[in-house]
Chain A
Amino acid sequence: MVNTKFTGTSKYVATDDLMMAVNAAVTLERPILIKGEPGTGKTQLAIEVAESLGKPLFEWHIKSTTKAQQGLYEYDAVARLRDSQLGDDRVHDISNYIVRGKVWEAFQSDEQPVLLIDEVDKADIEFPNDLLQELDRMEFYVYETKQLVKAAHRPIIVITSNNEKELPDAFLRRCFFHYIKFPDKETMSRIVDVHFPKLKKDLLREALSAFYKVRDVPGLKKKPSTSELLDWIKLLLAEDVPPELLNAKDSRKAIPPLYGALLKNEQDVHLFEQLVFLDRRADSN
């Protein structure tokens, strides 16, 4: 059974506004740009959209050195040069040296695919501009072979960004946009629920309140996010930590166990320990 509307999956909790944005993008066959704090499931979204709609997924992960052209195709001049030196016959056909990129692969898919362009902001500032035409018309031209590659089915394109660079207006105008905000407690317990269905209610409650307490510590450089919470709960389960320990009223045990999974920065750990220490001292007075 293939769904036509995205409503989240058994592993992914989608809020109403996120579903609306995704469905608008699916219906109108336009790209959707997803932003949000790290660890709120931006990349995961594309994977889940593909799974829930039963479509093939193509992932294109962007690095600081990625060029737009690499997503379309690359002309492997070095291989051709080598072949020419060795006297290989392949050298006469230039199409032997055209290496297809992820966008080309997605355009060629037999059914409508999902194309993930991950962390588009990592690339050079001109990168999105170089893809405008391709995303708009869903076609591009291969100069070496004088061939026009056109998408058989317009892919559902999910683009994620961590906001490291600002994206150009012309690019933004062609996309739907959604900002994944940090989930509130209710959504968060639903998220944890789909990941750990057998989790004891009291452990979840205590873990969540300890988690939000850590997030509320002022001055943290990197606040723990959803993915860190899930890791932490995994650890708690593995270590079989009793729920009472998480939010011990007795402030001598006030540091949550295994907090290394939540705080990833030594300055944060230091700050956190100091606050707990101050807290303890205030209590003992």
Chain B
Amino acid sequence: MLIPFFFVLREGGLRPSITELLTLLEAMKKGVAGQSVDDFYFLSRACLVKDESKLDRFDRIFAAYFKGVEDSLVDLMEEIPEDWLKKQAELVLSDEERAKIEALGGFEALMKALQERLDEQDERHEGGSKWIGTAGTSPFGAYGYNPEGVRIGQQGSRNRRATKVWDRREYRNLDDSIELGTRNIKVALRRLRRFAREGAADELDLEDTIDRTARNAGLLDIRMVPERHNAVKVLLCLDVGGSMDDHVRVCEELFSAARTEFKHLEYFYFHNFIYESLWKDNQRRHGERIPTLDIAHKYGADYKLIFVGDATMSPYEIVYAGGSVEHWNEEPGAVWIKRLLNTYSKAIWLNPEPKQRWEFTPSTKLTREIMENRMFPLTIAGLDEGIKVLR
């Protein structure tokens, strides 16, 4: 019976292998799990999921697949104190909306609607498109967030065992398409590591010492080598101000992760697009500017170039001389960025705007073309893809 489940998991984007399925079957045969569904859930999770960012996805697939086994809706009804929900609804809903709920047939129907809404959102999210998208437009918009509220209700956890554990979705914020924390970014950036030996020789090279000593007729000949360290060099150019204000936090996180991760990290700021000069200190951006050409000359071609920006502006700012919103630029931004790209063959653009929106912003499309498609969303998944290009 587990083979269909196995394939559902694979379709759902998890990648359990045959050996893992066999392990699960072996464990069940040996009676590790008892008869209860909870036991089976724990066991299959330990066998088939090896990455905490995939746990939430596993929970959702498990819930969808084993829905027939136990009707989760009944339990959900039991778990949430009704007057708590009422109170919550009063807080959140307007008079008009409350009237609509009455029209729907009271709280029982509301609960059903909530559950459906929850399912719907899961599926849409699985499909890979935006997952809190249309909350505002549907009649259930206001309590589109309430499924989360339902989850809060479970924190009281007076009888934890009553809810389906997989329905609690406790691992939600570990899903890699949602949250981007400093630690996650570091993990992603670490893939850029290139170890090399450079600098002072302060480590004993055992192999070479033995080799040389043997050649030296048995007299000790000590050989030293420099210590290994991360030799990747990174040039980070960050867009600041204007439309980037919404993305300050995520950029800060990226920046702080990059700073600890790379020994050779140089960073510069720009506004909207690259022109003839950049700056290092936002407070003195008008006074202390560094010519872009100097940067290209100073830092060697082995540096990897990362732009971070939403690329949302008027297309004139990219293609016309004098298009910049801040100053008169003699040459268009596109020329300047191409100069940089000529120097640095390894370059990517990270865009904090959701990928679906790129198509609708002409400047983003244009930037993407200039970058030869090397534009990636600023999420862990996007960062991963980008890092692959940089390597």
**B contact patch SS:** helix
Contacts of B304 in A (CB 8 A): none
Q: How many residues of B sit at the interface, in one of the four size bands? A: 35 or more
**Number of A residues, CB within 8 Å of B:** 37
Q: Which A residues from 77 to 136 make CB contacts under 8 A with B?
A: 77-78, 81, 84-85, 125
In the assembled complex, A246 has its CB within 8 A of some CB on chain B: no
Q: Which B residues from 38 to 79 make CB contacts under 8 A with A?
A: 38-39, 42-43, 45-47, 49-52, 55
Contacts of B170 in A (CB 8 A): 181
Of B15, B26, B220, the residue contacting A85 (CB under 8 A) is B220
Contacts of A165 in B (CB 8 A): 187, 190
In the assembled complex, B27 has its CB within 8 A of some CB on chain A: yes
CA A176 – CA B30 in complex, angstroms?
Answer: 15
The chain A residue with its CB closest to the CB of B188 is: A166
CA A179 – CA B15 in complex, angstroms?
Answer: 18
Q: Which A residues from 164 to 194 make CB contacts under 8 A with B?
A: 164-167, 169, 172-179, 181, 184-186
With known contacts A23-B32, A28-B30, A173-B50, A166–B187 Cβ distance under 8 A: yes
The chain B residue with its CB closest to the CB of A75 is: B206
Contacts of A16 in B (CB 8 A): 38, 42
CA A125 – CA B230 in complex, angstroms?
Answer: 13
CA A25 – CA B23 in complex, angstroms?
Answer: 10
In the assembled complex, B210 has its CB within 8 A of some CB on chain A: yes
Contacts of B26 in A (CB 8 A): 28
**Contacting pair B206 A77 (CB below 8 A):** yes
CA A225 – CA B95 in complex, angstroms?
Answer: 43
Contacts of A181 in B (CB 8 A): 170-171
**Contacting pair A35 B38 (CB below 8 A):** no
**Contacting pair A173 B19 (CB below 8 A):** yes
**Contacting pair A17 B45 (CB below 8 A):** yes
CA A281 – CA B336 in complex, angstroms?
Answer: 50
In the assembled complex, B186 has its CB within 8 A of some CB on chain A: yes
**Contacting pair A173 B171 (CB below 8 A):** no
Contacts of A163 in B (CB 8 A): 52, 183, 187
| Interface mask (B157-200 → A, CB under 8 Å = 1, otherwise 0) | 10010000100001100100000000100110011010000000
The chain B residue with its CB closest to the CB of A22 is: B46
Interface residues of A (CB under 8 A from B): 16-17, 20-21, 23-25, 27-28, 30, 32-33, 35, 77-78, 81, 84-85, 125, 163-167, 169, 172-179, 181, 184-186
Interface residues of B (CB under 8 A from A): 15, 17, 19-20, 23, 26-27, 30, 32-33, 38-39, 42-43, 45-47, 49-52, 55, 155, 157, 160, 165, 170-171, 174, 183, 186-187, 190-191, 193, 206, 210, 213, 218, 220
CB-defined A-B contacts under 8 Å, sample of 26: A16-B38, A16-B42, A17-B46, A20-B32, A23-B32, A24-B27, A24-B43, A27-B27, A28-B23, A28-B32, A81-B210, A85-B220, A163-B52, A164-B186, A164-B190, A167-B50, A169-B50, A172-B51, A173-B20, A174-B19, A175-B50, A176-B46, A176-B47, A179-B174, A181-B170, A186-B160
